[in-house]
Amino acid sequence: MFKQVLLGGTALMGVAALAMPAHAGSVGSKDTMSVTLGGELRFNVGFADQDVSAGRGRGYAFSVDESEIKIGAKNTADNGLEYGISIELNAAASDNSAADEAYAFIESDWGRIEMGDQDDASDRMAVHAYNILVGRAGADGDATDYIQFGGSTISSPGFDSTSDDTKLTYFSPRFGGFQVGASLTPDSGVTSGTGGLLDTDNDGDFENVIGLGANWEGKFDEVEILVGVVGEFGDSETATGADTEGEIESVGVGANITFAGFGIGAFYADLAEKGIAQANRTAGQDAGSYYDLGVSYSTGPWGVSLGYFSSTVSNTTGRADSDVEMFSLDVAYDVAPGWELTGSLHLAEADNINGAVVSQNNDATALIINNTFKF
């Protein structure tokens, strides 16, 4: 449910470098493309104490939170055009699919085009507060693996209705600090293969989803600033083929400021009526809104940050709103090259997590210790 942010903070200017996995090593590829091989494994030890523990086990757990092999390949044509591919393979024992992301790219002075299974432009250009947090980045980390938020609340930050569904994306070059991006996803339920040719137009997914993003970054002495606005728009597909469910009309705006090891961030998103049935929209329900705030400090191998996340979903008439508030304290330490040790403490208060007339509330505390290994 939670995804690692691929573009965050001032790293957004490096969108062209994303085709190559971080910490990757070259393995060669004769005369076609230069190939890099990398990967990541995260192991969590987590503890939780909460009022509503149903579905969250015995109060503690071990988990392989992520296990991936990352393959990149690229080359440059005689005319200067750069091209290549990026593939992420799931490697955990419980994974049911082999690939996470798989796309090709073409890049020139006119910008960058990506083709395949990858997050859309709105998700990757959103300037979230958690971009400046350390470790597992507060609410964007692993809190919902341990805390019961129910099915009605907005339990996670993020700005992507299409995830790694097959799409076409364009990122412009950066001019005067400005950059724009756009994605087109024909169907939010289709990944690779011929699914896009065979998929019906009435299966409850979203179609013709357009993801848009624009940002500006600048530097004034030691202060670096990144601000951005994103939007996502798409049509609903229902069992009857009619647009009786809420369409995607999501917007978000955020900013990050970094200076002398310190970071400050804020982001706000309104998800409007995405996926809400007509009857429920008439009765006052919406898809909700959320905002997150963050501050951090890093020096040498150490980093510490404090994040705040708040979301609200308006339920139908006669039912209280579903609200979430969560404070997250993260500490990170680079033990050795390719090995990061982090700790996250989450304090959460969730009201009406069942979205019912008789509300079910949950107060929770979770402590998660994570070892991240990258190669």
Asked if 333 contacts 302 with a C-beta cutoff of 8 angstroms, the reply is yes
Is the pTM higher than 0.75? The answer reads: yes
Read off the pLDDT band of 198 (50, 70, 90): low
Which region among 42-46, 195-199, 231-235, 301-305 has the lowest average model confidence (pLDDT)? 195-199
Answer whether residue 189 is part of any domain.
Answer: yes
* Res. 229: pLDDT tops 60: yes
Give 282: exposed, middle or buried? Use CB within 10 Å, 0-12, 13-18, 19+. exposed
- Identify the pLDDT of residue 153: 65
Answer whether residue 25 is part of any domain.
Answer: no
Read off the pLDDT band of 127 (50, 70, 90): very high
Range of the domain at 263: 42-64+120-374
- Identify the pLDDT of residue 19: 39
* Res. 187: pLDDT tops 70: yes
Other CB atoms within 10 Å distance of the CB of residue 236: 22
Considering only CA atoms, which of 374, 338, 375, 367 is closest in space to residue 142?
367
Q: What is the mean pLDDT of residues 55-71?
A: 89
Answer whether residue 97 is part of any domain.
Answer: no
H-run or E-run covering 198 = helix 195-198
Residue 24 one-letter amino acid: A
Token pair 């299409």 in the structure block, residue: 162
* Res. 104: pLDDT tops 60: yes
Dist CA 118 CA 131 (whole Å):
19
pLDDT (tens digit, 9 = 90+) per residue, 255-307?
A: 999 999 999 999 999 998 888 888 888 888 888 899 999 999 999 999 999 99
* Res. 124: pLDDT tops 80: yes
E strand intervals along the chain: 25-26, 34-50, 60-76, 82-90, 99-108, 111-117, 166-171, 178-187, 206-220, 223-236, 248-259, 262-270, 289-299, 302-313, 322-336, 339-351, 362-374
Q: What is the mean pLDDT of residues 111-120?
A: 95
Answer whether residue 370 is part of any domain.
Answer: yes
Token pair 């708040």 in the structure block, residue: 310
* Res. 23: pLDDT tops 50: no
User: What's the CA angle centered on 317, arms 315 and 318, to 5 degrees?
Assistant: 100
Dist CA 18 CA 5 (whole Å):
12
Q: What is the mean pLDDT of residues 97-120?
A: 92
Dist CA 45 CA 246 (whole Å):
39
* Res. 317: pLDDT tops 80: yes
If one compares 91 and 30, the residue with the highest pLDDT of the two is: 91
If one compares 219 and 197, the residue with the highest pLDDT of the two is: 219
Answer whether residue 359 is part of any domain.
Answer: yes
Q: Please state the three-class secondary structure of 234-290 as a single string.
A: EEECCCCCCCCECCEEEEEEEEEEEECCEEEEEEEEECCCCCCEHHHHHCCCCCCEE
**CATH for 264:** 2.40.160
Answer whether residue 302 is part of any domain.
Answer: yes
Answer whether residue 166 is part of any domain.
Answer: yes
Asked if 101 contacts 87 with a C-beta cutoff of 8 angstroms, the reply is yes
233: tokens are: 């728009």
**Who's near 14: CB < 8 A, 6+ residues apart?**
none
If one compares 206 and 44, the residue with the highest pLDDT of the two is: 44
pLDDT (tens digit, 9 = 90+) per residue, 133-172?
A: 999 999 988 998 899 888 766 656 777 788 889 999 999 9
- Identify the pLDDT of residue 21: 41
Dist CA 107 CA 219 (whole Å):
26
Considering only CA atoms, which of 75, 98, 62 is closest in space to residue 19?
75
Number of domains the chain is built from: 1
Phi and psi at residue 131, in whole multiples of 5°?
-60, -30
What percentage of the chain carries pLDDT values higher than 90?
59
Answer whether residue 182 is part of any domain.
Answer: yes
